[in-house]
A and B are shown apart, each in its own frame.
Chain A
Amino acid sequence: MSETVRLYFDVDGEDFTSAGQASVQVKKSLRQLGIPPEIIRKVSIAMYEGEINMVIHAGGGKAEVLICEDCIEIRLRDQGPGIANIEQAMQEGFSTAPDAIRSLGFGAGMGLPNMKRYTDEMKIESEPGKGTDITMRVYL
């Protein structure tokens, strides 16, 4: 797999209203690179949900997007509280988000399932108290 473009972002965990800025930037970059719209949409939605999760649960984190010859890889790293039970967290409707987040239109337990839905591969590594690493791939 030969890498062509690599993008890095710091996701600010302080402000929910600004969450999603990295995803908007990725969307713009993918458009400029001439990536097909359907692939752009999948990558943007998966990354947006990931960004929102990092802001809601982990106080922010780091995002990295690799645009390779055959796929786009999204790596999300945070040092938040971690996910105690990944299988449970992957169920649609399971959420530990506070009510305040629900009133903003998120936190319905759809974030991780949506990330899986829109990507071809998704790997979650998490240790309670240490943080969560998520790697997703969308094939071109």
Chain B
Amino acid sequence: MKISVIKELLGAEVVCGEDQLDREVYSACGSDMMSDVLAYVKDQAVLLTGLVNPQVVRTAEMMDMVCIVFVRSKSPTAEMVALAREHGMVLLKTTKRMYEACGKLYANGLVGNGVAR
């Protein structure tokens, strides 16, 4: 799924990485607990989270993720945007809550384990 499709499905606003919206991603995960992302996530390219601090971007960077979606209208800080830009990462924000945002993406074929449905 292209990141531009994620943006459309979630009615999301692009915070940074506008030039990366054509990138294809194959799986995603949703969590507010970064330790769990570091423990259980493998090859997921998109992180959906309601957590806002620079460690969210660093965690995504460690996991080689390319896009973070902030749910529940959370806005990343300027420091987070700068970090994301440095790593060529896309930041999106949506008014949708975690459950609905994950559900929309999953129902449209973006799975959790890297295998297309």
Query: Which A positions have Cβ atoms within 8 angstroms of B?
Result: 16-20, 23-24, 27, 37, 41, 44-45, 48-49, 52, 104-111, 113-114, 117
Interface of A is mostly: helix
Asked if A108 and B35 sit within 8 Å, CB to CB, the answer is yes
Contact of A45 among B32, B36, B38, B55 (CB under 8 A): B38
Q: Indicate if the CB atoms of A49 and B79 lie closer than 8 Å.
A: no
Q: Are B58 and A24 in contact (CB under 8 A)?
A: yes
Complex Cα distance, B54 from A18, in Å, reads: 8
User: Shortest Cβ distance from B16 into chain A, in angstroms?
Assistant: 18
**Interface membership of B73, Cβ < 8 A:** no
| B contact residues around A20 at 8 Å (CB) | 55, 58, 62
Tell me the complex Cα distance, A8–B79, Å: 25
Q: Is B14 in the interface zone, CB < 8 Å from A?
A: no
Contacts A19-B55, A23-B62, A104-B34 known; list 18 others, CB within 8 Å: A17-B54, A17-B79, A18-B54, A19-B58, A20-B58, A24-B58, A37-B64, A41-B62, A41-B63, A49-B38, A52-B55, A104-B51, A105-B35, A105-B49, A105-B51, A108-B36, A110-B35, A114-B39
On whether the beta carbons of B36 and A110 are closer than 8 Å, the reply is yes
CB A41 to nearest CB in B, in angstroms, measures 6
Contact partners of A109 in chain B: CB under 8 A: 35
Q: Is A45 a contact of B62 with CB atoms below 8 Å?
A: yes
Neighbouring B residues of A37 by C-beta, 8 Å: 64
Cα distance, A106 to B55, chains bound together (Å)? 9
In the complex, A44 Cα to B58 Cα: how many Å? Answer: 11
When distances are taken between beta carbons in the complex, the residues of chain B under 8 Å from A108 are: 33, 35-36
B50 CB → nearest A CB, Å: 10
Mark out the residues of chain B between 44 and 79 whose CB falls within 8 Å of any chain A CB in the assembled complex: 49, 51, 53-56, 58-59, 61-64, 79
A94 to chain B, nearest CB (A): 12
Minimum C-beta distance from B91 to chain A (A): 16
| B53 neighbours in A (Cβ, 8 Å) | 17, 104-105
**Which 5 pairs from chain A and chain B are nearest by CB?**
A110-B35, A105-B34, A20-B58, A108-B35, A17-B54
CB distance from A100 to the nearest CB of B (A): 11
